[in-house]
């Protein structure tokens, strides 16, 4: 088997640059969707249900993109066609989603429109995101893989930083952050519009600067027969034969992604309650109030702090001799961050909490895919990475489906509302369970288990 050549830093950078734009779209979705649906009139106990569709689409789309792209060989590449198509659909939906309340629809119709738009947005983001992870597995040798995923992690967090800050920046520039009841503020709309433009420009750059391996060359570098590239094997059969690494890392993933689903769903309401003193109307936070919308802008700032913390911690992670220790410690720091949010009532002190959460995020971005791809052969790489995303999507689906019930079981405050901040405490408990689970990870290669 031939050894893949070292790639220049610029080639590694080009390979993942489009991820910057994709992550802006993902950050806008994760930071603003609860705000959008709450503004449209959703009950806090129902908010988590709106988050079921994104991971549900991911668990369907990502394995299919992996399987199909494993067998796709065109003059444009094998992964890039899916990347470009996903980005194109995402751009179109990003212009539609924030206008859900602007078409004169009833509250229920507006929320239905928003749900359908969110479904298409997350489907397209998943389609655009997955090929970047696959191209690193395809084209980068093991020696440079850590560097390649580190670059991808940096671009991911840089894109997150931009996406999270957009509403706050537009508000600072004088764009309205408050709108009529049931309508999305202009600061959020323009964030999605500009994010969509950046997304397509970044993806065009990657498609123009990256040349994927042709089938024969791929087979030579991955030690497989060329005809194996088009071998048809069911995903179920591959799942049964998945290395133990797949399942043991998957357990850690379960706790981590359930925790972050709670963060995306409930942070806006949690800090509106504790740090912004949003008024309560009929037993619910007044989502049309200036305080609630100010909290919505501040969520973007806090998530940006999380991204900065993630970038800084990503520099520290390679210094650990033990990968498992680094992974586990990162999740413990994230747990402390989540739990502390319930007890902090100063919006600026929350920076500390979300910087710690960023430590967990850095490990979640870098560790699982590095550990998994090192355990896989080149054969069916895309399919396995697609299936592995089930360990990201499934816990989010479960957390979203049960979030409303869990929130209703929380002790209500004197004002009669369920404290959304307690959901972040529960997220911290989940990360602690993930930190313990790290130590059962099996890191054997696939061929060592055969």
Domains of the chain with CATH codes:
9-449 (1.20.1250.20)
The confidence score (pLDDT) of residue 251 equals 94
Q: Which of 237-251, 326-340, 391-405 has the highest mean pLDDT?
A: 326-340
pLDDT grade for 136, boundaries at 50, 70 and 90? confident
Classify residue 322 as left (phi > 0), alpha (psi -120 to 50) or beta.
Answer: beta
Separation in Å, CA 294 to CA 1, 45, 184, 185, 403: 58, 21, 13, 11, 24
* Mean pLDDT calculated for residue range 213-220: 80
Classify residue 105 as left (phi > 0), alpha (psi -120 to 50) or beta.
Answer: beta
Residue 160 token pair? 């997150």
pLDDT grade for 78, boundaries at 50, 70 and 90? confident
Mean of all residue pLDDT scores within the chain:
84
Quick: pLDDT tens for 36-56: 887 777 776 676 777 787 778
User: Which tops the pLDDT comparison, 428 or 449?
Assistant: 428
Write out 281-340 in H/E/C secondary structure.
ECCEECCCCHHHHHHHHHHHHHHHHHHHHHHHHHHHHHHCCCHHHHHHHHHHHHHHHHHH
In 3D, which of 379, 336, 231, 265 has the Cα closest to residue 35? 265
- Residue pointed to by tokens 């520290």: 316
The confidence score (pLDDT) of residue 110 equals 82
* Mean pLDDT calculated for residue range 148-172: 86
Quick: pLDDT tens for 322-332: 889 999 999 99
DSSP-based three-state secondary structure for 445 = coil
The confidence score (pLDDT) of residue 44 equals 66
CA atoms within 13 A on the CB side of 167: 33
- Residue pointed to by tokens 């049960």: 402
% of the chain at pLDDT higher than 90? 29
pTM for this prediction: 0.74
């Amino acid at each position: 088997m031939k050894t893949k050549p070292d790639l220049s830093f610029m080639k590694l950078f080009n390979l993942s640059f489009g991820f910057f734009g994709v992550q802006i779209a993902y950050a806008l979705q994760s930071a603003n969707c609860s705000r959008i649906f709450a503004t449209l009139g959703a009950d806090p106990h129902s908010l988590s249900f709106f988050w079921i569709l994104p991971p549900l689409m991911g668990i369907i789309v990502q394995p299919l993109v992996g399987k199909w792209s494993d067998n796709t060989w065109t003059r444009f590449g094998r992964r890039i066609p899916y990347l470009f198509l996903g980005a194109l659909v995402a751009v179109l939906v990003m212009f539609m989603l924030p206008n859900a309340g602007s078409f004169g629809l009833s509250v229920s119709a507006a929320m239905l429109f928003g749900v359908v738009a969110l479904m298409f947005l997350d489907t397209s983001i998943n389609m655009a995101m997955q090929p970047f992870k696959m191209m690193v597995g395809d084209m980068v040798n093991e020696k440079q893989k850590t560097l390649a995923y580190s670059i991808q992690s940096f671009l991911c967090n840089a894109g997150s930083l931009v996406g999270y800050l957009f509403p706050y920046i537009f508000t600072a520039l004088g764009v309205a952050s408050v709108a009529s009841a049931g309508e999305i503020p202009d600061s959020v709309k323009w964030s999605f519009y500009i994010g969509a433009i950046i997304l397509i420009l970044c993806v065009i750059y990657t498609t123009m600067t990256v040349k994927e391996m042709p089938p024969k060359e791929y087979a030579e570098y991955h030690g497989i027969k060329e005809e194996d590239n088009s071998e048809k094997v069911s995903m179920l059969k591959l799942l049964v034969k998945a290395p133990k690494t797949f399942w043991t890392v998957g357990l850690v993933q379960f706790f981590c992604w359930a925790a972050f689903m709670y963060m995306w769903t409930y942070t806006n309401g949690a800090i509106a309650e504790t740090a912004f003193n949003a008024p309560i109307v009929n037993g619910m936070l007044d989502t049309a109030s200036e305080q609630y919308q100010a909290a919505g802008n501040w969520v973007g700032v806090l998530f940006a702090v999380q991204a900065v913390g993630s970038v800084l911690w990503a520099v520290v992670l390679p210094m650990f001799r033990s990968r498992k220790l680094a992974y586990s410690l990162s999740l413990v720091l994230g747990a402390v961050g989540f739990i502390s949010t319930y007890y902090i009532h100063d919006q600026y002190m929350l920076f500390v909490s979300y910087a710690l959460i960023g430590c967990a995020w850095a490990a979640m971005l870098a560790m699982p895919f590095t550990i998994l791809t090192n355990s896989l052969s080149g054969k069916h790489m895309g399919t396995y990475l697609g299936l592995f995303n089930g360990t990201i999507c499934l816990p989010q689906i479960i957390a979203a489906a049960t979030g409303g019930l869990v929130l209703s079981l929380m002790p209500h405050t004197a004002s009669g509302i369920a404290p959304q901040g307690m959901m972040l405490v529960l997220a911290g408990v989940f990360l602690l369970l993930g930190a313990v689970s790290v130590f059962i990870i099996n890191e054997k290669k696939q061929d060592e288990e055969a």
